[in-house]
Chain A
Amino acid sequence: MMNETILEQLNKIFIEVLDNPSIILFVSTTANDIDEWDSLSNIELIVAIEKKFKIKFTSNDIEKWNNIYDIINTITVKYSR
């Protein structure tokens, strides 16, 4: 799956879960850029991403995340296996 496609899908998930239609994700986006992205909504985001991409993250995957690029990278790696 192309990174651009994953980014688009993630953007839809963030808009829906965080209930904010104005969210525009970039690969460099972090929690600092989105007010609604906190530790509680992070759980909902992870569950929604797992459901959408039909994958399961591990704690090792989550640990490495600092921005959207890191999430895309994890999804790409899981798809390539």
Chain B
Amino acid sequence: MTLKIYKLLLVNYRIEFPKLNHIVFLLEKTNALQAKKVRAYLETCDIEFFKRAEKFYNKCENLLRSIGKDWLFNVNCYNKMNADMVFERIQFLEKGSYSNKSFADVQKRIYEEPRVMEYHMHGLILAQFLWWDQYQRFSFFADNLKKYPAKNYLEIGAGHGLYISEAVDVYGSHTKFTAIDISSTSIEMTKAILDNKSIQCICDDVFNLNEINKFDFITLGEVIEHLEDPYKLMKKLHEILTDDGVFYITTPANAPMIDHIYLFNNADEIRSLINLSGFKIIDERSVFAENMKPEKAIKYKVPLMYAAFLKKQ
């Protein structure tokens, strides 16, 4: 009986949130395996998830319209990105390392290939909510942000603007917002999705930021795994964070992707980097990408999502 009521509620979600429903419909048409996974996952999600997803995908639709694309294009990008991930995963399980050894490798394969950049970035739009672990890192951020008031917010690698957009909603107009990204493709995407002139979007290297200009909240989501030397960036962020400021970081372990370089083998390695860089953990969350017992996830080297709110030691 309970299950029947729950299923009815789910149907209502699908009527109430047409964007997400359309995306799932297109997945069903193009990739049965992904659709099956997403359907099972959506059955576990609460109403807040659906509201957040619909709000984000509405913003993303503006981006798609602005470049003359539709959701089918985006779903195809998502399928391509997942295929890349499967391919990288097979290599990772065979060799025990990521396929990229340097930033130059990724630059040649991805950053200098507009076609690859395009489908990869668009694929990630869907992953923000369709991957359980990705939503966990966002909900952890969104559910806790109001605990840490900020006047000068910085986000490095804002990507699709999901996090900075949430920060704008929570902090309001009295806070100054800055998004910085080394990739012009990424920063243009951020601008198109945010459509908010009050957010300063800078295409530059974070290392060029002056230490005199300090921030009391810094977000660094899914960035350090793209670097050869994460410690160098962590130390830079230590310099530009105010003494009582808060730093939100997320990064995965055992997560081979076409643009990942630095391999963390487990959460302890991430915690060690945090400690070594002069930060302490206030709160943290880590989940495996697949819904299974931790022992099995560790055995199969299933990707682990790690997220934490940090302060200076």
Could you tell me which A residues sit within 8 Å of B by CB distance? 30-32, 37-40, 42-43, 46-47, 57-60, 62-63, 65-67
Contact = CB atoms under 8 A, between A and B. Distances in A.
Q: What 7 pairs between A and B have smallest CB-CB spacing?
A: A63-B83, A30-B32, A59-B87, A31-B33, A62-B83, A59-B83, A59-B84
Contacts of B216: none
A73 to B, nearest CB: 15
B54 interface: no
Contacts of B82: 63
A65 B83 CA distance: 9
Contacts of A63: 79-80, 82-83
Interface in B75-111: 79-80, 82-84, 86-87, 89-90, 93
A58 B87 contact: yes
A62 B87 CA distance: 8
A43 B32 CA distance: 15
Contact of B36 (A38, A58, A60, A65): A38
A76 B90 CA distance: 22
Contact of B32 (A32, A46, A58, A62): A32
Interface of B: 30-37, 79-80, 82-84, 86-87, 89-90, 93, 290, 292, 300, 302
Contact of A38 (B37, B79, B83): B37
Nearest to B289: A39
Given A38-B33, A39-B33, 13 more contacts: A30-B32, A30-B33, A31-B33, A39-B290, A40-B300, A43-B89, A46-B86, A47-B93, A59-B84, A59-B86, A62-B87, A63-B82, A66-B30
Nearest to B94: A47
B173 to A, nearest CB: 42
Nearest to B30: A66
A70 B31 CA distance: 11
A77 B296 CA distance: 36
Contacts of A47: 90, 93
B87 A37 contact: no
Nearest to B258: A59
Contact of A31 (B30, B32, B84, B87): B32
A30 B34 CA distance: 11
A43 B86 CA distance: 7
Given A31-B32, A59-B80, A66-B31, A39 B87 contact: no
Contacts of A43: 86, 89-90, 93
Contacts of A37: 33
Contacts of A31: 32-33, 36
Contacts of A40: 290, 292, 300, 302
Contacts of A67: 32
